[in-house]
Amino acid sequence: MVRYDDKSSLIAMRLKYGTRLGLAKLIAEHLQKFVAECSGSAIIVPVPLHRSRLWRRGFNQSVLIGRELARVAGIQMNYKVISRSKVTPPLRGMSGMRRRKTVDKAFALRADAHASLAGKSVLLVDDVYTSGSTSNACARLLKKAGAEEVFVFCWARVIGSFENG
């Protein structure tokens, strides 16, 4: 993970909004070196987009990163165990507290999630970690479905802005 700054944000934004899909490979290769720290049987789960946002954008950047990470690390990916069941506005510019309220109950487990996750280490993949609200909401559900542990794998982390929000 790198610190979110002008350079790292440019990579994330070009992937997410500029359709520079090859950047997913660069990000996954950077993240691959951390896979060894995960214990036991692991599975990659990307943070889902709501289907309306997926339809507008045409792709989920977390799935692209996860797919590349699965390829380079030799780990299975399942992008169907968790879904974004509630439409949420873009989180950019929101305080940490507002982000937590916005993503509360925005995700749901699929019916077969427990069978896929029980006893496994989950590598939860996202592009940017800002306040932790999205990752925490997803991690709670993944643990509820039986994941032994959840590791957040993301390209960049915002430092400082949301520490007390």
The third-level CATH classification (topology) of the domain covering 2-33+40-157 is Rossmann fold (3.40.50)
Query: Considering only CA atoms, which of 123, 110, 132, 109 is closest in space to residue 151?
Result: 123
> From first to last of its 165 residues, what are the pLDDT tens digits of the chain?
899 999 999 999 999 888 899 999 999 999 999 998 886 689 999 999 999 989 988 899 999 999 999 999 999 999 999 999 999 988 888 888 999 999 989 999 999 999 999 999 999 999 999 999 999 999 999 999 999 999 999 999 999 755 444
Instruction: Give domain limits for the chain.
Output: 2-33+40-157
80 neighbors 47 (Cβ within 8 angstroms): no
